Amino acid sequence: MKHYPHYLDLQPAMHAKGVVRLPGSKSISNRTLLLAALADGTTHIKDLLASDDTHVMLMALQKLGVKWEQIGESQDYIVHGVNGSFPVHQTDLFMGNAGTAIRPLTAALAVTGGDYTLHGVSRMHERPIADLVEALNAVGTHIEYTGEAGYPPLHIQRGRIHAQRMQVRGNVSSQFLTALLMAAPLMAREQDVQIDVIGELISKPYIEITLNLIRRFGVTVQRDGWQSFTIAAGQRYVSPGTIHVEGDASSASYFLAAGAIAGGPVRVEGVGKDSIQGDVRFVEALEQMGATIRMGDNWIEAESNGVLRAIDADFNHIPDAAMTIAVAALYADGPSTLRNIASWRVKETDRISAMAIELRKLGAIVEEGADYLRVTPPKEIQTAAIDTYDDHRMAMCFSLATLDGAARRGNKVRINDPQCVAKTFPDYFDAFAKVTEDTLF
């Protein structure tokens, strides 16, 4: 995996143009790994993401007794399913800062039972998990907090499930519902399991990914809108044989925005119009800002039409990709407002606060609210050293401030701790350099 120095100086870039092959989707990769592990049969996973978060999941599954192998130097893996029962019943699992790993694994381990401890880096211990734990313990699982109540680290012991109807809040993280949906077939051996969502469900497209993949592994979920989900009794996960991981649509956002800002066309390959990822809807925001978007079965392309238009929009459905819009707003013709993004505060860092601080360094005027961000672009983008808060998306987003747009020129930007991109896209800066045709160092 590529290693970067403590900081990376990015030079101003006149133009963005070219083709980028995307790494695999983090959301699809970690869901697929766990489903393949829980399934009956052997699954061949093609184009799995190579990143810190998938490494965390692979290592955790290995410690739980799941056998898997990588095929040569490729990103193809073979996972031997355990048919709903992990061979190792007592172990300690390090989960890094991977929400897509700790949350579904917590639910699966709590339902199957055993003696497990789960912990991660310090930021993981600041990310809430109470809604998931309370939903599980209410039906008879036995999960304890070993640090601050409501947050990892966790100790899971064998419980006794006594109810088949669960409730979970939907307004903090959709990963809690994803975790329950993935664990539900393990509870539905003899009775139907119903999961009710309390309040508004955020990040709905991520639940669509979960439902799609669960279906690929042979389990059907009946749903009543976004408020109730039922898994009929007697279903179990069965390997689909081979499954292909789409390119990461969130990672596509940086390159598509580059095309929209700095000429283009920039094309991303690995994701297209039939993607199961909601983040492909990022292109709708770029179109609102005036860019030209073209899409094929396995590619998307963005091209500039001059100065970007300011945007005022609800980004609840694409919170990760929306971060890219906040930086693209530097190139708009007026103030842009990103609304309904409260979930940013419980991500890898408090992204609303972090984004406001770093955009101000570039000269923007930023208004920060509990669930919104308003960005007024500067007359000139300033040179700045950008802190990344151990957050991969902060590092990738701010590379865009080097671009020359129709409204204003980019500037030299220093990215501190560029290594944090290893969470989802280890080779990001090489790929960015390729489309901007500039030297990084």
224 is in an annotated binding site: no
* Residue 219 · residue 185 · CB < 8 Å: yes
31 is in an annotated binding site: yes
360 is in an annotated binding site: no
304 is in an annotated binding site: no
393 is in an annotated binding site: yes
Q: Does residue 417 carry a catalytic annotation?
A: no
With CA atoms as reference, report the closest residue to 173 among 113, 254, 104, 275: 104
51 is in an annotated binding site: no
174 is in an annotated binding site: yes
Cβ neighbours of 335 (radius 10 Å): 17
* Residue 13 · residue 210 · CB < 8 Å: no
173 is in an annotated binding site: yes
409 is in an annotated binding site: no
Alpha helices for 303-427 (secondary structure H) = 319-328, 351-361, 392-398
Q: How far apart are CA 80 and CA 43, in angstroms?
A: 7
99 is in an annotated binding site: yes
Q: Which whole-number Å values give the CA distances from 431 to 20, 277, 389, 402, 426, in the listed order? A: 7, 22, 22, 15, 10
Q: What share of the chain is helix, strand, coil (3-state, %, to 5)?
A: 35, 25, 40
Q: How far apart are CA 10 and CA 110, in angstroms?
A: 46
Query: Which run of H or E residues covers position 217?
Result: none
How many Cα neighbours within 13 Å face the side chain of 177?
Answer: 33
Q: How far apart are CA 153 and CA 118, in angstroms?
A: 6
Between strands 142-145 and 154-157, the pairing is antiparallel
Q: Which of 248, 320, 387, 417 is catalytic?
A: 320
Structure token digits, residue 404:
């020359």
17 is in an annotated binding site: no
26 is in an annotated binding site: yes
Residue ranges for the binding site for 3-phosphoshikimate? 26-27, 31, 173-175, 203, 320, 347
Residue ranges for the binding site? 26-27, 31, 99, 127, 173-175, 203, 320, 347, 351, 393, 423
Residue ranges for the binding site for phosphoenolpyruvate? 26, 99, 127, 175, 351, 393, 423
Which residues carry out catalysis? 320
